[in-house]
Amino acid sequence: MYTILIVDDEKSMREFLAIVLKKEGHAVTVAANGAEALATIEKELFDLVITDVKMPGLGGIDVLKAVKAVSPSTIVLMMTAFASTDSAVEAMREGAYDYLTKPFKIDEVKLLVKNALEKKQLVAENTRLKQEAHDRATFAQIIGHSEKLTKVIELIHKVADTTSNVLIFGESGTGKELVARAIHYNSRRRDRPFVTVNCSALPEPLLESELFGHMKGSFTGAINNKEGLFELANEGTIFLDEIGETPLGIQVKLLRVLQEREFRRVGGTRDLKIDVRIVAATNRDLEKAIAEGRFREDLYYRLDVIPIRLPPLRERPEDIPLLVEAFLDKFNRELGKSITRVLPTAIDLLCTQEWRGNVRELENVIERAVALASSDTLGPEHFRDCLPRASESISMALPTDGVDLEGLIGTIEKDLLSRALQRTNGVKKDAATLLGLNFRSFRYRLQKYGIK
């Protein structure tokens, strides 16, 4: 349903248009003259305004100007029984969508209104897409305020609009592609392509064809010429994810692209010049790979002009509450849920995890909890089944001369009891919940170790 304002000094015309458009499902308001219309648009925004040109006092052009001053996105249709080229040109110059000459047919009005509102919807969709691009550019998807993440964001701001190659280091799930996108969308290349390729996903022959393209007949199955991803990314950015997994043969060709800014398609005879910024990422120790002969040292130094190191989630637990909030909002929308709260004890539980899969693992855990929840609140019980057990996350070597198992377990248990109390500000019930104990068992353990 759209909101429509009809402005005409003829009562019969106002009533006629109101009836027609209400039957089409729209919310219709009427005004008997220009002054009344101006008073109305100051109080309410409309999707569409249909106004007569010739009216006593303020005319339709005045209404048009006032509407556009208040709400530039509002569509305005002009109508008159005294059409002239000059008045039509003036109306269009001031931003009118179209011009109706009285008398007109009902179907003509319906079609014009339909087209006008479709245009408004299209403009709104374009605005939304631009906003999404703006969100990417303003790091809306890189969530957190920890000192380590803040330093990363500051570095992205500094290097985004340079032409230097960037190498992003980080464990799996830390958000390396988000950083690469932030670099691209904050650079002068933002309106050109951003192309992603996972270097570990394809065997060497297919990866070479994907990156550089191929000519018809250059290998079995090459039934036509194909552009490579470097060509598609021309004047933009190419993101080489998992660069540490690239075969040595491909590394040689990548080095040539970096040095000469040119390449040759598989089976081709002509060198192709390109202008592409390269952002690469890895979760591997490339210096170790160089020492083992698995990665070219010259390629490494070409890529590692500006290194960005992403901290794992376990090193920035203060960001977990913000991430939980963001993922909760995301999956509420995607799954049609209305979960409004995550209990502090649940947040505390999530903050104590190691998160070997980093942000991606946390996101999966939140999605599962939201999908299975039957209430509007998430507590620790909604997460325990998909979190590692303590026995699974604790690993230590067994000394050759043995160990005092009872004493060791007692030390660990006492430490966890004290930490739980500290985290819950001394609230024993919440501390018991955090450790998965009932209150009686928790109180017994406190007495056992003399903890108050």
* CATH label of the domain that carries residue 442: 1.10.10.60
Structure tokens at 124: 């709104």
pLDDT at 99: 84
Q: Establish if 334 belongs to a structural domain.
A: yes
Q: Do 258 and 184 share a domain, yes or no? A: yes
* Final residue belonging to a domain, choices 246, 276, 311: 311
Q: Exposure pattern of 407-436 as b/e (b: 16+ CB <10 Å)?
A: eeeeeeebebbeebbebbeeebebbbbbbe
What's the CA gap between 6 and 74, in Å, rounded? Answer: 13
Other Cβ atoms less than 10 A from the Cβ of 287: the count is: 12
In a domain, 353, yes or no: yes
User: Do 184 and 157 belong to one domain?
Assistant: yes
Task: State pLDDT tens for residues 252-296.
Answer: 999 999 999 999 888 887 888 899 999 999 999 999 999 999 999
How high is the pLDDT of residue 390? 44
Cβ neighbors of 364 (< 8 A, separation 6 or more) are: 357, 386
Domain span holding position 226: 147-311
Question: Sign of torsion, CA 355 357 363 369?
Answer: negative
Residue 142 resides in a domain: no
Same domain, 98 and 61: yes
Which CATH number belongs to the domain containing residue 380 in this structure?
1.10.8.60
Query: What 3-state DSSP class applies to 26?
Result: coil
Which residues of the chain are modeled with pLDDT < 50? 135, 138, 390-395
User: Is the same domain home to 305 and 162?
Assistant: yes
DSSP state of 426: T
Predicted confidence at residue 403, as pLDDT, reads 64
267 and 385 share one domain: no
Q: Does residue 319 share a domain with residue 307? A: no
Number of domains into which the chain is organized: 4
Same domain, 215 and 350: no
User: Which residue in the block uniquely carries the two structure tokens 């604790």?
Assistant: 394
**Same domain (yes/no): 180, 277:** yes
Prior bond of 56 cis (ω within 30°): no
CATH number of the domain bearing residue 25: 3.40.50.2300
Residue 141 lies in a domain: no
272 and 181 assigned to the same domain: yes
Q: Are residues 361 and 404 in the same domain?
A: no
In-domain check, residue 139? no
**What is the edge-to-edge ordering of all strands in the sheet holding 48-52?**
27-31, 3-7, 48-52, 75-80, 98-101
Decide if 39 is inside a domain: yes
Name the domain boundary from 311, 328, 343.
311
CATH number, residue 280: 3.40.50.300
Instruction: Check whether residue 158 and residue 244 sit in a common domain.
Output: yes
Tell the burial category of 67 from Cβ atoms under 10 Å away from its Cβ (0-12, 13-18, 19+).
buried
